[in-house]
Amino acid sequence: MSSRFFLLLTSLIFFFNNCFAGTYEYEVKTVNYKNLAARLYLPKTTEKVPAVIGFGGSDPSWGFAEANGQMMASNGIAVIGLVYFKTEPGLPATLDHIPMEYFISAIDYAETVKEIDASRIGVVSGSRGSEAGFLLAILDPRIKSVVITTPSKVAWSGMTSAQSAWTYQGKDIPSMDLPELENATQIQRFNMALQDSEKVKKATFAFEKIGGPMLLISAENDQIWPGTAMTQDIMAYLKKYDFKYSVVHKSYPTGHGFSKETAPEIKQLIIDHFVQTLKNQR
């Protein structure tokens, strides 16, 4: 997959900052655990708090982690915000062959923090990070709640390689690549790739293995990939498997990065989801 694949940024994160602040003060700590490049956003309270693992997509910066850390820690939910390529020394240079064990180690870290209730852990991510977010919830039953923005129903190959972007136990996660189509837009290439039913079947996530409620948020006019159509497919998949947890799909008539106008509502949906599924589940 060429480097131009996913030169995108979920711009929603920039609208999250400095709005809808909650009632909790919080502190930010640099995580010193294994090889994690992460920050802990910890509410100041005498009660044990739930925690959410938060990470972005193809934008390697701290933006997604910081935005989610601010908005949820101020509402009484700890956030372990991490980056997983390029940004910090020791990380892979590109979004290629990222071990899922790296994300699992963030859950391991949560269990070492005495202020965190490790029975109440969730994950939030989006765009390319949606793939790792789903995989984390599928691979590790300690994830009890999920929020994904601009989801993909399948795993895709890396930014610079035709091999999978993700690995687990040293093996590639089954993935799909984009066809090289002359004069085609990116979304046309995605739609063409998704017509290969055999490859789609192999690369589709085992959503039925997720052990908690989900909130999925898609963009109807997404020009990066067909996120709303893929989310509808996820919903149909879960219905087929009689998924026992609640799943909510909200879509907005925007592009992949959503918009300043929709951001407040989306932000509140995310906060409310984790408050209801983690914070209030004592």
Q: What is the mean pLDDT of residues 197-208?
A: 98
pLDDT at position 210: 98
97: which 2 tokens? Answer: 């062959």
Q: What is the pLDDT of residue 2?
A: 44
Residues 193 and 214 sit within 8 Å (Cβ to Cβ): no
Residues 39-66: pLDDT tens digits?
999 999 999 999 999 999 999 999 999 9
The domain defined by 12-279 carries CATH number 3.40.50.1820:
yes
8 pLDDT exceeds 60? Answer: no
What pLDDT shows up at residue 11?
43
Q: Determine the Cα–Cα distance for residues 67 and 50; give it in Å rounded to an integer.
A: 17
Task: Quote the pLDDT of residue 14.
Answer: 42
What's the average model confidence in pLDDT over 74-94?
97
27 or 10: which leads in pLDDT: 27
Work out the pLDDT band at 282, boundaries 50, 70, 90: confident
Give pLDDT, residue 22.
72
Mean pLDDT score of the chain, rounded to an integer? 93
Calculate mean pLDDT across residues 189-199: 97
The answer to whether residue 235 scores a pLDDT higher than 80 is yes
User: C-alpha 86: how far from its chain's center?
Assistant: 18
Q: Report, as an integer, the average pLDDT of 184-197.
A: 96
Side-chain-side CA neighbours of 91 within 13 Å: the count stands at 19
For residue 62, what is the DSSP state? S
Question: Which amino acid belongs to residue 180?
Answer: E
Please name the residue that has the structure tokens 């919830």.
137
pLDDT beyond 50 at 122? yes
CB atoms within 10 A of CB 123: 30
Does the pLDDT of residue 10 top 50, yes or no? no
Residues 244-248, mean pLDDT to the nearest whole number:
98
- For residue 153, pLDDT beyond 60: yes
Q: In angstroms, rounded to a whole number, what is the distance separating the alpha carbons of residues 83 and 54?
A: 9
Q: What is the average pLDDT across 83-96? A: 97
Total Cβ atoms within 10 A of residue 38: 27
Query: How many Å apart are CA 210 and CA 246, to the nearest integer?
Result: 11
Q: Locate the domains of the chain by residue range.
A: 12-279
Query: So what's the pLDDT on residue 272?
Result: 97
Is pTM beyond 0.85 here?
A: yes
CA separation for the pair 78, 121 (Å, rounded): 9
